[in-house]
Amino acid sequence: MGRPPLIDRELVLATALELADEHGLEALTMGAVARQLGVTPMALYRHVGNKADLVDGVVELLLTQMPEPSPALPWSERLTDLASGILRTARRHPNVFPVLLQHPVTTSGARRARRAVYAALADAGVPADRVAQVERLVSTAVLGFAVSDVAGRFRRHSRRQVDEDFDVLLALLGRFVASEVDGSSEGPARSDPARQR
């Protein structure tokens, strides 16, 4: 009997992403990945602990496919590059990309994109106590647009129109970030329902 194929975490996760791309996230199981690799499910446990670990790894792959922009670029260009990378990734992996709105980022590799956004926001001059919230709002807007695009919400519009809309969204987000820097926002208090009445 021949030796079992050599596998590593990178191969396991790449195979998991490939399966999810083809059949959807619900088809992603330890057994399915093992069959695709020609190994027993037990062979995977050296590299991923369980299905949740597998999904964490798929999230990591999605978030690390885009190159990290150079820290030498202006903060606005870095944020635009990261957002554009997210949209390209969504279009490459439409069946699995929505997991980014359903699953928390847990691995160090997956947190790389968030750290890059934090750094750009800090370089923009966003106060340290506002960076996390601004990142959540900006990232959720970009992810929501990307998921809407690949889920078919914009199917009645041309790709050109969708891309133009994305550019408008990025410009709006850039103005939002700038408002956090120049003090024109009131910070957390502006979301107080009593102040909105």
User: Does the pLDDT of residue 74 top 60, yes or no?
Assistant: yes
Q: Which domains does the chain have, with CATH numbers?
A: 9-61 (1.10.10.60), 69-185 (1.10.357.10)
Residue 197 CA to chain centroid, in angstroms? Answer: 35
Mean pLDDT of 87-97: 95
Which pLDDT score, from 0 to 100, does residue 195 have?
36
Which pLDDT score, from 0 to 100, does residue 191 have?
39
Q: If you average pLDDT over each of 25-39, 46-60, 157-171, which comes out highest?
A: 157-171
Which pLDDT score, from 0 to 100, does residue 70 have?
93
Six-digit token string for 84: 């554009």
User: Does the pLDDT of residue 4 top 60, yes or no?
Assistant: no
Reference 67, options 45, 43, 44, 84; nearest CA is 84
Which pLDDT score, from 0 to 100, does residue 192 have?
40
Which pLDDT score, from 0 to 100, does residue 142 have?
97
Q: Cα(116)–Cα(67) distance, rounded to whole angstroms?
A: 11
User: Does the pLDDT of residue 184 top 80, yes or no?
Assistant: no
What confidence tens digit (pLDDT) does each residue in 113-154 have?
899 999 999 999 999 999 999 999 999 999 999 999 999 999
